[in-house]
A and B are shown apart, each in its own frame.
Chain A
Amino acid sequence: MKVVELSRTPAGAFAGLVLASLGEEVRRFDLGSLRAGPRPGEDARDEAERCFLMQGRQSESLKLPQERARLLEAVAVSDVVVEDLGPGRASNLGLSWRAAQEANPRIVVVSLSPYGASGPHRLWHASERTMQAAGGVMHATGWHGEPPTKLPGNAVQYILGLQGATAAEAAVYGVQSGNEEGVYIDISAQESLLLHWSRHVSQYAHSGTLMRRPLPDAHGPNWPLTNEASDGWLYMLALRRSWEEVSEFLGLGDLVNEETRDPTRRAEKIPQMIPRFRDTVRSRSKYDWFGRAAARGYTYAPIETPAEVLESPQMAARGFFESADLDGEEVKVPGLPFDW
């Protein structure tokens, strides 16, 4: 599959990265600084982000609209264009949907933008944070009494890029299989992120439940969810397991009695029991707890730092990380999360 990538933000660049990682032939055009109009999203944050996003393909500079003919020549011999220039911008620069179709009737154009190409907010100015605010998830993330926490880095723009890469693959499959013709696909970051909040918004619709950010000391159905082990933090929800069973597992079986078996009375006693629970968790390493819990089928997990993820024996066994060059230094970069 031949791809023309016109990206100014991490969204289009992530789409290009994913398609290149799949082995598609991606031709990235660097448009430099475009005069009119704001950047519809963010810039890559630093060299590390550029190192990650720009893998697998070369960039060539293109001045638009002066070099429009060169762009249309590329469109004529490609299967798909992925662009994130902002609503109407590609058209203003000489690549309208009609022009693309005239150059190549089978072409697929995937347009990525913060709010989409239609609707009252289509031209809203956006940042990673404001896109996350508009798309959901953020309001329920963080702690009660503190401002909502955003997802890390340029997460929503990557999610948008992932949608764009999938849309490109599906649309080209549709054309090549004869199911469809060339199409123009418009995808917004807001709706892409909304899908990742589907449970909460749908649960609200079903039952009126308002999901809130939890109190820092809130505990799940067993014990508090995040706790410090001897060497770092541990996520400790044993899905579908009772408090009594988990307490026995932790070596706190003596706390299980008639009074604490009753959830209401237990809730009153929990604050008194927490210090001993925390001491118990701190008595072992997070990997020790993780292995022991896994043997019981519990869904515990070590809360890993990026450096710990790089050393993960699981990811090493799967060959997840690859090498790249950053300022003359070899660094590790994640590959696709599936073997390909």
Chain B
Amino acid sequence: MGGKVYKPLAGVKVLAFEIACALPAGTRTLAELGAEVVRVPPPARDVGNYIGVVDGVFLSKPCISIDLTKARGRALARQLALEADVVCDNFRSSVLGKYGLSPEELRAEKPELIVLKLSGYGVPGPWTDFAAFGPSVEAAGGMNRVMGGGGRPVGVGSGVFADQLAGRYAALALISALRARDHTGQGRTIDLSMVECISHLLGPFMVRASKDGDAPWGDVSTHVPDGSYPCRGEDEWIAITVKSDAEWRRLATFIGDRQLMHRGLSTRARRAERCGEIDAALADWTREQDKNELADALQGLNIAAAPVRTVSDMYDDPQIRSRGAFQSVAHRSPVMGFESHPHVRNPWRVRGRERQRLTDFRYLGQDNEGVLKRWLGLSPEEIRALKRDSVLVDAGTLEVQNPLPPFRDPEHAEKLALVSADDAR
């Protein structure tokens, strides 16, 4: 603690008209790299946004709120946009254009501006205006089908997988555009499609389909065995992958199962013919064992194995704790009974540098005064006049609603304290 903070994007100003998760995930990365990201949410949708707060994608960003339906609001937003290095949005495709904030209008006045639009299906195209969120683009991008089995698709159990992925690509696109701008002096207009982020991740599946048509359901591994096997406890699992015949011999010897050792399974090809039988035998063996102890033991044999982490034991993972993957973020006032909560940080560890600390989420309009003063040099009187005329909206608070979860862990408060203690060290 106390070392130099890593801020490669120091001095970069980002104005983000953002909602939901995907773009906010990307701009939070920019904020963690030292950029000043000012969040402009749609006024009616911010209060009580449980998911937005819980996700942590709004952390580390000042928040302003401007009524774009008013002429003075539009003029103010335009002034801010022209002050920025980057303007980005994930509102519906027509929204910013309606208010005179289209990429063409902004870049006509400031060619070096970088403008990014993020949407479910991208612009142009016949699906451009179709509503989408993470799970729908995972479906349309091909993911659910290639994960499926037994003739039935499977969804990703994340809720924000596609959002975070699109956020990663958005951060990449914006940083690359900043670098290009510093060489050419020219900005760029970028249109990012969430569904294409999914299909890009499935590149080899697309190549195979292009060559041979669709494969049968399921994602076939090249290793045998390669699976998740039950362990002691409710819904506890270990993942094991045997990558070579030598590893198989070590595993079979370790298990001490004479049949597994001698049933003619010494080559991958022979094991592939009987993988169902092998999986059943392995499951019988793992069922009464502790997933963490077993993973340690198999690692001792140089076999790839890892406990399948649950949401509740992720915080206990020794590697995650050792690398400080979570940071406890203190709230100005308690949220759902806690004065702080752990959030996942940017995963880059830079030698000799500290990571920028995440700061608490800000409610609608909480930073109107600070941002307008810093970016546009407005006086307190001018800002008061904008508030008086309702050009600026100030929610004054942020209420978080509890969506009544279906399963609850009675020990979670204790585990939360554990994370905070790690973070304080």
Contact = CB atoms under 8 A, between A and B. Distances in A.
Contacts of B419: 205
Given A45-B204, A97-B351, A190-B319, A307 B310 contact: no
A54 B235 CA distance: 39
Which of the listed residues A199, A310, A321 has the most CB atoms from chain B within 10 Å of its own CB? Answer: A199
B319 A120 contact: yes
A59 B200 CA distance: 22
A203 to B, nearest CB: 5
B338 A206 contact: yes
A213 B178 CA distance: 41
B365 interface: no
Given A120-B318, A332-B207, A180 B6 contact: yes
Interface stretch (B125-133, B270-278, B378-386, B389-397): B125-133
Contact of B131 (A167, A298, A312): A298
A89 interface: no
B281 interface: no
Contact of B145 (A149, A188, A195, A304): A304
Given A188-B323, A301-B139, A326-B207, A148 B308 contact: yes
Interface string A289-316: 0100010011111111111111011111
A124 to B, nearest CB: 5
A333 B206 contact: yes
A207 B116 CA distance: 34
B70 to A, nearest CB: 26
Contact of B302 (A38, A191, A302): A38
Contacts of A271: none
A136 interface: yes
A60 interface: no
B103 to A, nearest CB: 12
B405 A203 contact: yes
Interface string B288-316: 00000000000100111111111110110
A223 interface: no
Contacts of B264: none
B211 A126 contact: no
A155 B204 CA distance: 11
A169 B314 CA distance: 30
A201 B241 contact: no
Interface in B9-34: 9-11, 21, 29, 33-34
B190 A339 contact: yes
Nearest to A22: B176
Given A140-B311, A210-B312, A306 B142 contact: yes
Contacts of B149: 149
B350 interface: yes
Interface stretch (B73-81, B104-112, B406-414): B406-414
Interface stretch (A62-70, A111-119, A276-284): A111-119
Given A119-B318, A166-B168, A195-B164, A239 B133 contact: yes
A198 to B, nearest CB: 5
Contacts of B251: none
B201 interface: yes
A206 B405 CA distance: 11
Contacts of B209: 305-307, 309-310
Contacts of A300: 136
Interface residues of B, number: 153
Contacts of B132: 299, 301
A26 interface: no
Contacts of A143: 154
Contacts of A175: 8
B219 to A, nearest CB: 5
Contact of A210 (B193, B306, B309, B310): B310
Contacts of A209: 311, 405-409
Given A127-B304, A140-B158, A166-B171, A205 B342 contact: yes
Interface string B112-132: 000010000110111111111
B208 to A, nearest CB: 5
A45 B171 CA distance: 28
A309 B226 contact: no
A130 B191 CA distance: 35
B227 to A, nearest CB: 7
A155 B307 CA distance: 18
Interface in A309-336: 309-310, 312-318, 320-321, 324, 326, 329, 331-336
A326 B136 CA distance: 31
B205 A205 contact: no
Which of the listed residues A301, A336, A340 has the most CB atoms from chain B within 10 Å of its own CB? Answer: A301
Contact of B9 (A179, A208, A298, A338): A179
B399 interface: no
Contact of A129 (B55, B221, B347, B409): B221
Contacts of A315: 125, 195-196, 199
Contacts of A127: 223, 226, 239, 241, 243, 304
Which of the listed residues A226, A304, A320, A338 has the most CB atoms from chain B within 10 Å of its own CB? Answer: A338
Contacts of B187: none
Contacts of B100: none
A99 interface: no
A50 to B, nearest CB: 9
A254 interface: no
Contact of A170 (B9, B125, B353): B9
B347 A48 contact: no
Contacts of A167: 348
Given A18-B172, A125-B303, A141 B206 contact: no
Given A159-B165, A305-B209, A152 B219 contact: yes
**Closest 6 A-B residue pairs measured CB to CB?**
A174-B8, A140-B157, A209-B405, A337-B196, A127-B241, A191-B347
11 contacts: A51-B204, A121-B318, A129-B241, A138-B228, A141-B157, A210-B312, A210-B407, A225-B155, A310-B206, A312-B140, A339-B190
Interface of A: 1, 18, 22, 38, 43, 45-46, 48-49, 51-53, 97, 115-122, 124-143, 147-155, 158-159, 162-163, 165-167, 169-177, 179-180, 183-188, 190-192, 194-213, 216, 225-226, 233, 235, 237, 239, 290, 294, 297-310, 312-318, 320-321, 324, 326, 329, 331-340
Given A142-B154, A196-B164, 12 more contacts: A46-B204, A150-B228, A159-B168, A204-B312, A207-B402, A239-B133, A294-B130, A299-B132, A301-B140, A315-B125, A334-B200, A334-B202
